[in-house]
């Protein structure tokens, strides 16, 4: 089923922007390559530890997980088989960690592996929830759920960051469909073998995950009950991841890129898993004598042999291709070194010739320079003598003009002194005249001031007498009106009193 999770080039857009050759990583959870590398490294260590515990501490691990003190030897064989299968997520996480270091997680190969890990982690959580509580140890169930959750979250988050379209189920479905078509149309014989193995592993994982327990038990050779069912689901999930990784190798074979380190690691990891599964099957039949060879077990052993041969052969060939490339590079380097040596020797000879020519040119230039220097020195001396003569002549003329200027200055000083005395006499005369005129104007102003003051005093007395007269007249008039008003008031009172008597009020 690995092909179902692959993505075609047409359905994947780059998740990041390239600016002047620099990738700008989007912001978000696990968006930085350093965080991604650390997360995948932790997943690699965790899954590798699980595989080691299952393979090298088989009985102790089995007793802890299922709370069974003396497990059946068949269940231990199944546990060992699950141990080899647990290497699949460790291999996937390791290749993703290497890709994160190179900032290559948006490549189709790593998108498929991230999507496969996310699905495997989610399905593991589902089977942990579905398995009865009496089957698994409570502590192990929590640890297994934590590891499955971490696997699903890390892989899903990075897939969302790097796919270019998030976790879009529509586009993932389109990628699934196009991958099925690509699986049916390999470009070469090597890719055809990988297509067959990927399809077979996909079918086998579907049987282990969703098929009847009786059918799965026949394929696994041993196992019955809830414990074997749980181990069957574990092996099915790891087989599913192996199918995804094999499809990645098929795609690399199509593009003739098997020499890349990612695909070398996948070939080596899958060859180890297939060889381990084959040894577990051989042990179950031949060594433990738990069952006899059946058609299913023989077919399964043959299929495992095909896997081992395919993965191992391509891993060895990729190393051989790499050695050939290294030899070509070394040969090219040697040729380039020889060429550089020839060029260096030619350059050395040319430099020596130029140096000798330069020495001759230098001596010639030195002789010409000395000749021009002597000539310049003679010309400088002639110019110096002429300048000295010109300076003496200029000094004599300067002294002559200075004496003349001094005489003219003295004459102008005498004239200025006479003019100043003349102007001083005139100024004194005008000052005396101005003083006399000022005194005359002062006397006139004083006389006029006294005259106007006397006139104002007389006018004030006249207005004061007039006001006094008018005030006295007004007082007399007021007394007259007051007497008149008093009489009228008395008359009015008498009249009112008479009317009151007539009307009977009094």
Tokens 């003083």 belong to: 435
Strands 22-24 and 17-19: antiparallel
Phi, psi of 480 (to 5 degrees): -65, -45
pLDDT bracket for residue 331 (50, 70, 90): low
CA–CA separation, 111 and 7 (whole Å): 8
pLDDT score of 267: 93
CA–CA separation, 241 and 247 (whole Å): 10
Closest-CA residue to 50 (of 217, 238, 313): 238
Mean pLDDT of 102-119: 91
* 3-state secondary structure at position 22: strand
- Work out the burial of residue 123: count CB atoms within 10 Å of its CB; fewer than 13 is exposed, 13-18 middle, 19 or more buried: middle
pLDDT bracket for residue 5 (50, 70, 90): very low
pLDDT score of 22: 40
Give the number of C-alpha atoms closer than 13 A to the C-alpha of residue 224, restricted to the C-beta side.
2
CA–CA separation, 143 and 50 (whole Å): 11
CA–CA separation, 282 and 130 (whole Å): 31
By the 8 A CB rule, do 78 and 223 touch? yes
Q: What is the token pair recorded at 306?
A: 């095909």
Enumerate the H helices of 67-188 as residue ranges.
Answer: 73-85, 87-101, 108-130, 138-162, 169-183
pLDDT score of 21: 38
pLDDT score of 13: 39
* 3-state secondary structure at position 52: helix
CA–CA separation, 407 and 23 (whole Å): 92
pLDDT score of 387: 73
Closest-CA residue to 88 (of 255, 394, 295, 307): 307
Span 220-242, pLDDT tens digits: 545 557 887 888 888 889 999 99
Q: What is the token pair recorded at 18?
A: 């390239």
pLDDT score of 11: 41
Phi, psi of 258 (to 5 degrees): -70, -15
CA–CA separation, 386 and 393 (whole Å): 11
Residues in the chain: 506
CA–CA separation, 58 and 52 (whole Å): 9
By the 8 A CB rule, do 41 and 96 touch? no
């Amino acid at each position: 089923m690995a092909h179902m999770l692959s993505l075609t080039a047409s359905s994947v857009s780059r998740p990041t922007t390239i600016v002047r050759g620099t990738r700008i990583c989007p912001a978000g959870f696990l968006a930085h390559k350093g965080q991604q590398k650390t997360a995948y490294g932790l997943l690699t260590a965790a899954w590798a530890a699980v595989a080691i515990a299952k393979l090298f501490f088989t009985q102790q691990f089995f007793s802890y997980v299922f709370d069974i003190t003396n497990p059946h030897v068949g269940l231990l064989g199944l546990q060992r088989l699950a141990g080899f299968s647990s290497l699949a997520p460790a291999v996937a996480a390791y290749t993703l960690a290497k890709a994160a270091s190179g900032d290559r997680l948006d490549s189709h190969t790593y998108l498929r592996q991230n999507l496969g890990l996310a699905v495997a982690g989610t399905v593991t959580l589902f089977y942990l929830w579905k398995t009865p509580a009496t089957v698994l140890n409570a502590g192990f169930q929590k640890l297994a759920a934590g590891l499955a959750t971490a696997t699903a979250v890390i892989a899903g988050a990075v897939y969302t960051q790097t796919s270019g379209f998030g976790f879009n189920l529509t586009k993932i479905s389109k990628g699934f469909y196009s991958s099925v078509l690509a699986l049916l149309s390999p470009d070469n014989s090597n890719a055809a073998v990988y297509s067959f193995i990927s399809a077979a592993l996909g079918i086998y994982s579907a049987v282990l995950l969703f098929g009847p327990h009786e059918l799965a038990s026949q394929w696994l050779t041993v196992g019955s009950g809830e414990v074997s069912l749980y181990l069957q689901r574990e092996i099915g999930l790891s087989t599913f991841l192996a199918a995804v990784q094999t499809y990645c190798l098929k795609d690399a074979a199509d593009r003739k890129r098997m020499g890349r380190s990612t695909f070398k690691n996948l070939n080596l990891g899958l060859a180890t898993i297939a060889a381990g599964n084959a040894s577990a099957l051989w042990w179950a039949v031949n060594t433990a004598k738990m069952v006899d060879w059946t058609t299913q077990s023989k077919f399964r052993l043959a299929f495992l042999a095909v896997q081992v041969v395919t993965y191992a052969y391509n891993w060895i060939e990729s190393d051989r291709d790499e050695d050939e490339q290294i030899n070509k590079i070394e040969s090219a380097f040697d040729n380039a070194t020889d060429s550089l040596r020839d060029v260096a020797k030619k350059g050395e000879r040319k430099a020596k010739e130029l140096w000798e020519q330069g020495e001759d040119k230098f001596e010639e230039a030195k002789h010409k320079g000395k000749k021009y220097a002597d000539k310049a020195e003679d010309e400088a001396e002639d110019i110096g003598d002429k300048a000295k003569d010109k300076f003496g002549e200029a000094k004599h003329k300067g002294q002559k003009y200075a004496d003349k200027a001094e005489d003219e200055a003295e004459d102008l000083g005498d004239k200025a002194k006479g003019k100043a005395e003349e102007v001083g006499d005139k100024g004194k005369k005008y000052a005396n005249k101005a003083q006399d005129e000022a005194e005359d104007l002062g006397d006139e102003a004083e006389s006029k001031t006294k005259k106007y003051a006397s006139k104002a005093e007389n006018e004030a007395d006249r207005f004061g007498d007039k006001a006094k007269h008018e005030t006295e007249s007004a007082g007399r008039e007021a007394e007259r009106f007051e007497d008149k008003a008093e009489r009228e008031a008395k008359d009015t009172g008498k009249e009112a009193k008479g009317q009151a008597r007539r009307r009977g009020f009094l």
